[in-house]
Amino acid sequence: MTAASPAGGTNAELFERACRVIPGGVNSPVRAFRSVGGTPYFVARAEGAHTEDVEGRCYVDLVQSYGAIIAGHAHPRITEAVQRAVADGSSFGAPTEREVLLAEAIAERVPSCEKVRMVSSGTEATMAAIRLARGATGRSRVVKFSGNYHGHSDALLAESGSGVALLDADEAGSVPGSVGVPSSAVADTTVVPYNQVPTLDDTVACVIVEPVAANMGLVAPADGLLAGLRAECDRVGALLVLDEVITGFRLARGGAQGHYGVRPDLTCFGKVIGGGLNVGAFGGRADVMDHLAPLGRVYQAGTLSGNPLATAAGLAALSLLDDDAYLTLAATGARLATGLQHAFDEAGLVARASAVGPLVGLYFGDHVPVDYADARRTDEAAYAAFFHAMLDRGVALAPGAYEIAFPGLAHDGGVVDQIVETAAESAQTLTPG
């Protein structure tokens, strides 16, 4: 990559300006360096596995827009698709062919999605799916899992992972999980421990779950969890909602549900299906989806839903994800996790690296966590020290101990080896001698 223009100022100067006009200087809390200390770097441009900040410094990027990028930054096929699309107009408020094509592509890859509705974000997808589940069942109660993050809509912002986990300890476990969310908004939300199948009753409209928890670090589903949830929902007539905003089309061609062999009633998507642009979607059984307006009485709408630029980028991204791509992604995740663990062990650093396909988690403790209470025992100070040691050496992790790493198709063997070598050097700085 060529050097970035310094016209915008240094990272510190831009952050100072941002703090004057943007709350906290960032437009999403997970981008802040509050939990790790220091000043955020401002990205000027990116290509493949690398980003470059406004000061011209290049980083191997494991953030990858928190999973929205899977083929690498500025992939030619995706950028060309967006360029062609924008030449025809950026938004119409009318149906377009590409939104039909993207819905068909999702339905073909995920058989449980007989019909699909496009929206503009993962938060919007989960929010709408909950409303639909309530409308379709005539019930009010929603069951979610402690540490699972489903976006920032009121009803789902109860004891959640990701940025919410970085609140003070006496706040993070509260219900609701944010000031400004009234108790009434979460009165019908029941929070239960992850990796345990709860006993439901006939007041439950749906159970929503991350099939692989990826917002409290990485926590894999216990054997039988997803099948158990399917059976328990069937027993009481509740709907099973899988939040595949992260796992959808990253973990496998058919998402986590294809990987684990479970068929939900509704599924939420985001990230990969937009190729790096704003997008979300939810889909499921036709008889449930037909409760949506204009066919049914569950209202949901959005001016930019099915945006022609986002659908063009999403279709291009999906076209890159064949069976060989998923074999490569899984091998990359395993290679990175194995290498990181070796680096930690050689340095005598008490930390664990784990992978589920191309999802890689770091836990600063002596075992891989199994639930939220376990995940919150990670040593946040150790993570912060490791984060800065890596960043100083040119490898960018997410600035929060509860986020995961997203190696993608651009992270080839050479890039992974570079990350591992950097981790070995960084880990040595965290241990005596």
- Please state the three-class secondary structure of the chain as a single string: CCCCCHHHCCHHHHHHHHHHHCHHHCCCHHHCCCCCCCCCCCEEEEEECEEEECCCCEEEECCHHHHCCCCCECCHHHHHHHHHHHCCCCCCCCCCHHHHHHHHHHHHHCCCCCEEEEECCHHHHHHHHHHHHHHHHCCCEEEEECCCCCCCCHHHCCCCCHHHHHCCHHHHCCCCCCCCCCHHHHCCEEEECCCCCCCCCCCEEEEEECCCECCCCCECCCCCHHHHHHHHHHHHCCEEEEECCCCECCCECCHHHHHHCCCCCEEEEEHHHHCCCCCEEEEECHHHHCCECCCCCECCCCCCCCCHHHHHHHHHHHHCCCHHHHHHHHHHHHHHHHHHHHHHHHHCCCCEEEEECCEEEEECCCCCCCCHHHHCCCCHHHHHHHHHHHHHCCEECCCCCCCCECCCCCCCHHHHHHHHHHHHHHHHHCCCC
198 inside domain: yes
Write out the residue range of the structural domain in which residue 95 sits.
76-319
Q: Which of 53, 61, 243, 374 is catalytic?
A: 243
Backbone angles phi, psi at 164, to 5 degrees: -65, -30
**Model-level pTM?**
0.94
Can 243 be counted among the known catalytic residues? yes
Q: How many domains does the chain have?
A: 1
Say if residues 272 and 316 touch (Cβ distance below 8 Å).
no
32 inside domain: no
CATH of the domain at 186: 3.40.640.10
How far apart, in Å, are the Cα atoms of 32 and each of 27, 116, 148, 160? 9, 34, 21, 18
299 inside domain: yes
387 inside domain: no
Can 144 be counted among the known catalytic residues? no
pLDDT digits (tens, 9 = 90+) for 172-202: 333 567 887 888 888 899 999 999 999 999 9
Q: Which of 41, 61, 194, 271 is catalytic?
A: 271
Q: What pLDDT was estimated at residue 367? A: 94
Give the type of residue at 158. Answer: A
2-11, 68-77, 213-222: least confident range: 2-11
pLDDT digits (tens, 9 = 90+) for 294-348: 999 999 999 999 999 999 999 999 999 999 999 999 999 999 999 999 999 999 9
d(CA 352, CA 363): 5
Which residues are CB-contacts of 61 (< 8 A; sequence separation ≥ 6)?
Answer: 46, 49, 50, 51, 73, 396
357 inside domain: no
Say if residues 415 and 60 touch (Cβ distance below 8 Å).
yes
Report the DSSP pairing between strands 50-53 and 43-47. antiparallel
Q: Is the pLDDT of residue 410 over 50?
A: yes
pLDDT digits (tens, 9 = 90+) for 62-72: 999 999 999 99
Tokens of 400: 């929060």
pLDDT digits (tens, 9 = 90+) for 206-253: 999 999 999 999 999 999 999 999 999 999 999 999 999 999 999 999
373 inside domain: no
Q: What pLDDT was estimated at residue 7? A: 54
424 inside domain: no
Q: What pLDDT was estimated at residue 183? A: 84
426 inside domain: no
Can 322 be counted among the known catalytic residues? no
Q: Which of 41, 149, 194, 372 is catalytic?
A: 149
Q: Is the pLDDT of residue 254 over 50?
A: yes
Beta bridge partners of 192: 145
